[in-house]
Amino acid sequence: MTASPEVIRKRMMEGRNIEDESWIQGLIDYNEYLRTHNSIEDTKYDKMDCSAETPKEIAEKVLEWLERNTGK
């Protein structure tokens, strides 16, 4: 799951009260890598942008993904 840099910054600062800029920037950089690649070495992964949805909507998307990808 990924989100835009602005959303990550807002969620970290407002939702988790994290103010350490180097920590936030590290998360943004890692997130950007995931957003711009389709695999880590030989391991491919799906992407789900969670920038605009509510936690409930994200949970529903995750459940749909699980059902499609695990056959359950």
The domain total for the chain is: 1
pLDDT tens-digit profile of 9-58?
999 999 999 999 999 999 999 999 999 999 999 999 999 999 999 999 99
Is the predicted pLDDT of residue 72 greater than 80, yes or no?
A: no
Which pTM value belongs to this model?
0.79
pLDDT of residue 71: 78
CA 14 to CA 19: how far, in whole Å? 9
Cβ(46)–Cβ(1) under 8 Å?
A: no
CA 2 to CA 69: how far, in whole Å? 19
pLDDT of residue 49: 95
Q: Which residues of 47-58 are buried (b: 16+ CB within 10 A; e: fewer)?
A: eeebeeeeeeeb
- 12 Rama class: left (phi>0) / alpha (psi -120 to 50) / beta: alpha
Q: Which domain holds residue 9?
A: 5-70
